[in-house]
Amino acid sequence: MNVTIFGTGYVGLVTGACLAEVGHNVTCVDIDEVKIENLKNAVMPIYEPGLDSIVKENYNAGRLHFTTDIEDGVKFANIQFIAVGTPPDEDGSADLQYVVAVAKSIGQYMNDEKIVIDKSTVPVGTGDRVREAISIEQSSRNIQLPFHVVSNPEFLKEGAAVNDFMKPDRIIIGTENKQAEKIIRELYAPFNRNHDRIIFMDVRSAELTKYAANSLLATKISFMNEISNLAERLGADIEKVRLGIGSDPRIGYDFIYPGCGYGGSCFPKDVQALSKTAKQVGYHAELLNAVEAVNYRQKDVLFNKITGHYNGVENLDGKIVSLWGLAFKPNTDDMREASSRSLMEALWEAGAIVQAYDPESMDEAQRIYGNRVDLKLMGTKESCLVNADMLVICTEWKQFRAPDFDQIRTTISEAVIFDGRNLYDPELLKEKGFSYYGIGRGDSIKKFN
Ligand X SMILES: NC(=O)c1ccc[n+]([C@@H]2O[C@H](COP(=O)([O-])OP(=O)(O)OC[C@H]3O[C@@H](n4cnc5c(N)ncnc54)[C@H](O)[C@@H]3O)[C@@H](O)[C@H]2O)c1
Among 3, 4, 7, 352, binds ligand X (CB under 6 A): 7
The correct pick among 158, 207, 389, 419 for binding ligand X (CB under 6 A) is: 158
Give the phi and the psi of residue 256 in degrees, each rounded to 5. Answer: -120, 30
In angstroms, give the least distance from the CB of 88 to ligand X. 10
Q: Is 354 a residue that touches ligand X (CB under 6 A)?
A: no
Out of 8, 228, 272, 342, the residue judged to bind ligand X by CB under 6 A: 8
The answer to the question of residue 66 lying near ligand X (CB under 6 A) is no
Separation CA 121–CA 124 (nearest Å): 10
Give yes or no for residue 10 binding ligand X (CB under 6 A): yes
Q: Which residue is nearest to ligand X (CB)?
A: 9
* Active-site annotation holder among 18, 28, 260, 266: 266
Subset of 100-119 contacting ligand X (CB under 6 A): 101-102
| Interface pattern 21-60 for ligand X (x via CB under 6 A) | --------xxxx--x-------------------------
Q: Give the C-alpha separation, 169 to 345, whole Å.
A: 38
Question: Which residue in the set 1, 9, 285, 382 belongs to the binding site for ligand X (CB under 6 A)?
Answer: 9
Q: Closer CB to ligand X, residue 322 or residue 332?
A: 332
154 belongs to the binding site for ligand X (CB under 6 A): yes
Q: Terminus-to-terminus CA distance in the chain, angstroms? A: 63
Of the candidate residues 58, 215, 265, 307, the single one contacting ligand X (CB under 6 A): 265
Distant-in-sequence, close-in-space partners of 389: CB < 8 Å, separation ≥ 6: 319, 320, 321, 412, 413, 414, 416
Nearer to ligand X, 32 or 425 (CB): 32
- Is residue 207 at the binding interface for ligand X, with CB under 6 A as the rule? no
Burial (0-12, 13-18, 19+ Cβ within 10 Å), 250: exposed
156 binds ligand X (CB under 6 A): yes
424 binds ligand X (CB under 6 A): no
Active site residue 28: no
Asked whether the CA dihedral 170, 175, 178, 179 is positive or negative, the reply is: negative
Taking CB under 6 A as the binding criterion, the range among 77-85, 127-135, 342-350, 419-427 that sits at the site for ligand X is 77-85
Give the footprint of ligand X on residues 117-146 (CB under 6 A). Answer: 120-121
Site for ligand X in 322-341 (CB under 6 A): none
Q: Which is nearer to ligand X, 86 or 444 (CB)?
A: 86
User: Pick from 3, 6, 81, 385: which binds ligand X (CB under 6 A)?
Assistant: 6
Q: Does 147 help bind ligand X (rule: CB under 6 A)?
A: no
Q: Which residues are catalytic?
A: 266
Site of interaction with ligand X (CB under 6 A): 6-12, 29-32, 35, 83-86, 98, 101-102, 120-121, 154, 156, 158, 265-266
